[in-house]
Amino acid sequence: MKMRALLFGVTFCVLSAGCGYIAVHTAPKKQASSTRTELATRADALFWATFHGGRYAQIPAALEALTGAYLADPGDAVSAAHIAWLHIWRLSERNRLAAVPATITDDAVLARRYFQEAVALKAAEPRYLGFLASATLAEGAIHHDERLTRRGYFMMLDAIKAWPEFNLFTAGYVLSTEPADSKNFRQAVDWQWQDVDACIGEKIDRANPDLARFMHLATTAGQKRTCWNSWIAPHNFEGFFLNMGDMLVKAGDWQTGRRLYENARLSPVYSQWPFRDVLEERIRNAPANTPAFRTPANKFMMADSAFSCMACHQQ
C-alpha cells in the first residue's frame, strides 16, 4: 500500500508539472494593437517635449501619462517602449540628482520589463531588442546575476546582427563604463570602430579617423540614418563622437580620442548643440582626462554623466 501511494504521489506530481507546462505554453499570445489611441498620442507628445527638452525633473509626469495610456491599451508597443526609455533616462542621468537614492536601481528593472513587452509586441524592431539587451545587462550588473548578464550579452549580439549601425553603438555604450583594462571595455571600443565602418562602408583609418570626406553620406532614410542626426536624435552625430572620444581617452589613447572629438565639429548644426562646450573642454584636456575617466568619482565619461542621453537627444 505504501509503495502504491508513493507511486501515485510521484505520478501526480509529474502530471501536474506537465499540465502546468502545457497550460503556460499553449496560452494565447498577446496581440499588438493595430491602431493607437488618442490617449497614447497625447502621451507621446508629452514624452517628446520632455525628452527633447531635457526636462529630467518632469519624467514623473510623462511616465504617469504614458503608463495610463499603456494600461488603457496594453497592446501598444510604442507606449511600452517610451515608458522603458523614461526609466532608462532617469537611471542613466542619475548624476543630475543632489543625492542618488538606492531605489534608482528599480528603473533598470522597470525598463527591462517594458522593453520586454515592446519586443514581444513588435519583434521586428531591432532597436527595441538592443534596448532590452541594455536594460538586461544593467539589471544583471545591479544584482550580480551572471546568468542574467550573459542573457543580456547574447541578446545584444542578436541585436547587432539585426541592425549593426544602431546596435553596435548601443552595445559599446553600455560597456564603456567597464574598467579600461578589461576584456569587456576593449570589446566596447572595437564595437565603436565597427560602427563607424558600418556607417561609412569602409574601414576608417584608426590612426587618423577623419570623417570629413564621408559627410556627404548623411541620410535620414534606411538603416544608416542612425549614423547621422535626425528628428529623434537631433545631435546624434555629435554625441556619438563625444562618447567615442571619451572611450579612447579612457583607453589611454588620448591623441586618437582628440581626433574623434574633432569629428563632432563637422556637424552642420554643431553651433546649436547644447553640449559643444563640454566637447571643447574634452579636446583641451584630453591628456589629463585619461586618469580622470578611470576614476569615476573624479570625472564622469559621457555614459555616466548628467547628459548621457541628452548629448544626442536634447534639441
> 139-191, pLDDT tens digit by residue?
999 999 999 999 999 999 999 999 999 999 999 999 999 999 999 999 999 99
Grid cell at residue 196: 563607424
Q: How far apart are the first and last CA of the chain?
A: 78
Q: CA-to-CA distance for 164 and 160, rounded, in angstroms? A: 5
The domain 35-162: what is its CATH number? Answer: 1.25.40.10
Q: Which residue has the higher pLDDT, 7 or 67?
A: 67
- Please, which pLDDT band fits residue 22 given cuts at 50, 70 and 90? confident
Going from N- to C-terminal start, the domains of the chain cover: 35-162, 164-315
CA 282 to chain centre: 23
> Cβ(251)–Cβ(176) under 8 Å?
no
**Mean pLDDT in the chain?**
93
> What is the per-residue pLDDT across 258-311, written as a single tens digit (0 to 9) for each?
999 999 999 999 999 999 999 999 999 999 999 999 986 667 899 999 999 999
Given a cut of 50, whether residue 25 has pLDDT beyond it is yes
Answer whether 299's CB lies under 8 Å from 292's CB.
yes
